[in-house]
Structure 1
Amino acid sequence: MTPRRIIIDTDPGQDDAVAMLLALASPEDLEILGVTVVAGNVPLSLTEKNARRICELASRPEILVYAGCARPMVRTRLVTAEHVHGKTGLDGPDLPEPSMALRQGHAVDFLVDTLMAAEDASITLCMLGPLTNLGMALVKEPGIVPKIREIVLMGGGWAEGGNITPAAEFNIYVDPHAAHNVFECGAPVTMMPLDVTHKAMSTRVRVERFRALGSPVGLAVAAMLDFSERFDEAKYGTDGGPLHDPCVIAWLLRPELFQGKRVAVEIETASERTLGMTVVDWWGVTGKPANALVINQIDSDGFYELLTERLARL
């Protein structure tokens, strides 16, 4: 089969890095047209550098990496997560400074130009961080919507509540106005919320399987998770922590590992108390039309088998 054409939008982040590596290890399934980078887990000056570090770790320096938005669309303050990811965003392994060049031009322009050049709805957008780049692209050129095959995003939550506020998940909270644009744009959306990613736990046994690969990638992934998951272990009292963003890529590779339902999703943009909340109408009580496939179940063993098998290729 022809590989699915994708653009990865990301704010690395250890779990973003693992998601990127999963995609980079799967060229027969995924053709990566480019990586667009946004501020989120750490500021843009670090996320764009981290994205290039991961491409080089995977021996894929030819990947196009574009820097995008350094702040949210409307909110004046960028919320970051160094308390989880460390001061670099990729604390844990000792990765060298990247030598591959950051591409000239803005990530929003790359998104618009690449989508508008597509002949049909052939490009999948893999959204691993705040949705600012895509939210801005939709404002700049609404004509990109018919060119989008699917938007698969990690963000939101409902039964699990939030992880940055009681009501909001981090990616949506950082830029709720961009998230509103995305969910209302009319393109097919698949949402990987906390309700499913909290079932993809990187237990000690699973992390040791990555380390046992013995490769630079396997050792780096184990070191990343050793660092980042310590926060979740302390917070939730669990063995390991949720591995959020790789669920986006795993959905494209092995959709049979997941289950969910098409429902209406709205983003809270007005209330300070619940800003960034994903209002998921799971039982259809509003009668509003469904605008997203919301995933809430995962075969976690199958997910980690896929991760381990693919990472062993790099």
Structure 2
Amino acid sequence: MPRKIIIDTDPGQDDAFAILLALGSPDELEVVGITAVAGNVPLARTAENAQRVVELAGRPDITVYPGCARPMVRPLFTAEYVHGDSGLDGCELPAPSRPLGSLHGVDFIIDTVMAAEPGSVTVCTLGPMTNLAMAMVKQPAIAGRLEEVVLMGGGFFEGGNTTPAAEFNIFVDPHAAHVVFTSGVPLTMVPIDCTYRAVMTPDWLRRLRAVGTRTAIQAAGMAEFYQRYGNTKFGTDDYPLHDPCVIGYLLRPELFSGRRCHVAIDLVSPLTAGMTVVDWWNVTKQAPNCLVLRDLDNPAFYALMLERLSRLP
């Protein structure tokens, strides 16, 4: 049976690739719903962007539920400087054919998890963890009923990509991350230490565009736009796609390596707020609360993504 997942997201070009990878893998993954959160761009845009991505993939039957419009405590910080004003610059996506879900995203998460068999739903967070944390605050029982939470976020050995210490998704809402990391839920973290190794090359982009389908052509366009930021930042034509690593791990965990560690979220320091403090060497002797991934088989990962995106219309 396909694994049931909720995708919690703030599209973002790399979020779009993660959604497309999941939708191209129906034998392994059943996307039971998508919740949108403010992050890369404000909520109104992330929700519509998610609708447009499922429309592109030929899956308008998947409902998008708008969630939290701001972090739990801090003001919203967005990343149009990376993703463009729309959040999905570089492509032309079809308009949504169905309305947004009537439930708030937080309530959709709660209702779905509480109605399902315990241990049968996984939440994949691709942006700030506000929706999931608010769901855990509103209904703490969901933490014990989830199969797993797999998140793209954090970093330790590579530092941060938004401040010297903090990765964007955790930096935007560190209090939400703290709620999730202290909830006791089975947790797998795909930090930038791992995703920086998920390098998208110009040759791979050419191969994607050459597939020739509507989805492949528009995905290539958004990736090319996204890559321009990387060209400026890193001085190279290669640039990682972060969020698809979450779906790649669910599909092919053997492509990834890491270890179980205790991870804490810094909430207070003016220098390191939003840092994921990973006790890689078990210095504190605290019980591990997270599987922290650090490396992946990049050629195999991108071969998988090309094959699955090629299935879409």
Q: Which TM-score bucket, shorter chain as reference?
A: over 0.9
Q: Which residue of 2 aligns with 1:23?
A: 22
Structure 2: 5+ residue stretches without partners: none
Q: Which residue of 1 aligns with 2:39?
A: 40
Please tell me the residue identity of whatever aligns with 2:44.
S
Q: Which residue of 2 aligns with 1:189?
A: 187
Please tell me the residue identity of whatever aligns with 1:14.
Q
* 1:1-314 equivalent positions in 2, closer than 5 A: 2-75=1-74, 77-314=75-312
Please tell me the residue identity of whatever aligns with 2:5.
I
Residue pair 2:55, 2:95 contacting (<8 A) in 1 also: no
Residue pair 1:43, 1:70 contacting (<8 A) in 2 also: yes
Deviations 1:72-106 (A, max 9, x none): 0011x100000000000000012232222101010
Distance 2:274 2:236 in 1: 26
Please tell me the residue identity of whatever aligns with 2:23.
L
Deviations 1:249-299 (A, max 9, x none): 011111111000000000001112111000000011011110000000100
User: What value does the CA root-mean-square deviation take over the aligned residues?
Assistant: 0.7
Residue pair 1:56, 1:100 contacting (<8 A) in 2 also: no
Distance 2:257 2:193 in 1: 11
Distance 1:99 1:117 in 2: 27
Distance 1:241 1:133 in 2: 28
SS in 2 for 1:148: coil
Deviations 1:154-204 (A, max 9, x none): 000001100011110000000000000111100110000001100011110
Distance 1:40 1:114 in 2: 23
Quick one: percent identity of the two aligned structures? 59
Distance 2:259 2:266 in 1: 21
Distance 1:310 1:172 in 2: 29
Distance 1:186 1:237 in 2: 41
Deviations 1:29-80 (A, max 9, x none): 11111000000000001000000000000000100210000000011x1000
SS in 2 for 1:55: helix
Distance 2:94 2:20 in 1: 16
Distance 2:233 2:302 in 1: 22
Please tell me the residue identity of whatever aligns with 2:32.
L
Please tell me the residue identity of whatever aligns with 1:35.
I
Larger CA deviation: 3-12 vs 237-246: 237-246
Distance 2:38 2:193 in 1: 24
- Aligned pair count? 312
Distance 2:140 2:5 in 1: 19
* Structure 1 stretches of at least 4 aligned residues deviating more than 4 Å after TM superposition: none
Please tell me the residue identity of whatever aligns with 2:269.
S
Q: CA deviation at 1:238?
A: 2.3
Deviations 1:220-241 (A, max 9, x none): 1110111011111211122221
Deviations 1:1-54 (A, max 9, x none): x10011000000000000000001111111111000000000001000000000
TM-score (norm 2): 0.99
Please tell me the residue identity of whatever aligns with 1:144.
I
Distance 1:246 1:286 in 2: 32
TM-score (norm 1): 0.98
Residue pair 1:9, 1:129 contacting (<8 A) in 2 also: yes
Larger CA deviation: 206-215 vs 84-93: 206-215
SS in 1 for 2:287: coil
Deviations 1:112-166 (A, max 9, x none): 1111112211101111000000010110010111110010000000011000111
Distance 2:222 2:9 in 1: 16
SS in 2 for 1:144: helix
Please tell me the residue identity of whatever aligns with 1:51.
A
Distance 2:160 2:236 in 1: 17
